[in-house]
Amino acid sequence: MKKPYVICHMMSTVDGRIISANWGDQQLIDTYSGFFEKYHDTFESEAWMCGRVTMERDFSGGVKPELITPDQPISRISFIGDKNATSFAIAIDAHGKLGWDSNTTGGDHIVQVLTEKVSDEYLYYLQRKSISYIFAGEKELDFELALDQLGELFPIKTLMAEGGGHLNGSLLNAGLIDELSLLLLPIADGTLKSPTTFEVSEFLQKSPAALMQLQKAEQLENDVIWLKYRFKKKDDK
């Protein structure tokens, strides 16, 4: 196994909500977003990871993939679009829906995590864009397999998992998160059915609740609290 060390870095309201569109004041939202990036940069990591919805909303700009049928079938093996890349944006996109303007976002090389059910047309699109991809399951994503491949194929030792809630919940449920960095915002949201920091899908067999040890609690500007936890492992006393 070459699984990277996984740090879940998130910001949420005091009631755990993570969708900033509900919070009203755009200037305040921008301030909190600045905190998120600032404290993200305090970690030494080679990669960050988001789910498809988050990537589409905040990073890809809603670009639609240009699909062309390849001349021959494409094997379901990993593809590396830039062998010299040293920093990575990992996009969880099981069904192959994301489009991109280039093979980088924010200067980081894009790696898509797919299932084998994606179309040849989509794989051909990623190859033409020189966007890397790996397969982590035939029909459903296996996050342990995904992380092992990311550590094996790319120079990734530490990875920041940064949402959405279902991605975080899947990693949590599989026991794959090593550390939590949480910016707790002085907001009580209360929006019904709004996603929270960790959302375990009803289709997954729920694992027992994860236990953590507090490593740091620091009050920041604007009444934000920065909490850092280490997840307890089975052999921890």
pLDDT in tens, 160-204: 999 889 999 999 999 999 999 999 999 999 999 899 999 998 777
Spell out the SS3 assignment of 42-104. CCCCCEEEEEHHHHHHHCCCCCCCCCCCCCCCCCCCCECCCCCCCCEEEEECCCCCCCCCCCE
SS3 229: strand
pTM above 0.75, yes or no: yes
Taking only the tens place, the pLDDT of each residue in 203-214 is 777 889 999 999
Thinking of the domain 1-46+157-237, which architecture would CATH place it in? 3-Layer(aba) Sandwich (3.40)
Sketch the domain layout of the chain as residue ranges.
1-46+157-237, 52-142+149-154
Lookup result for tokens 């404290």: 39
CA 67 to chain centre: 25
Paired with 134 in beta bridges are 113
Q: End-to-end CA distance of the chain, in Å?
A: 24
CB-neighbour burial class of residue 149 (10 A; exposed 0-12, middle 13-18, buried 19+): buried
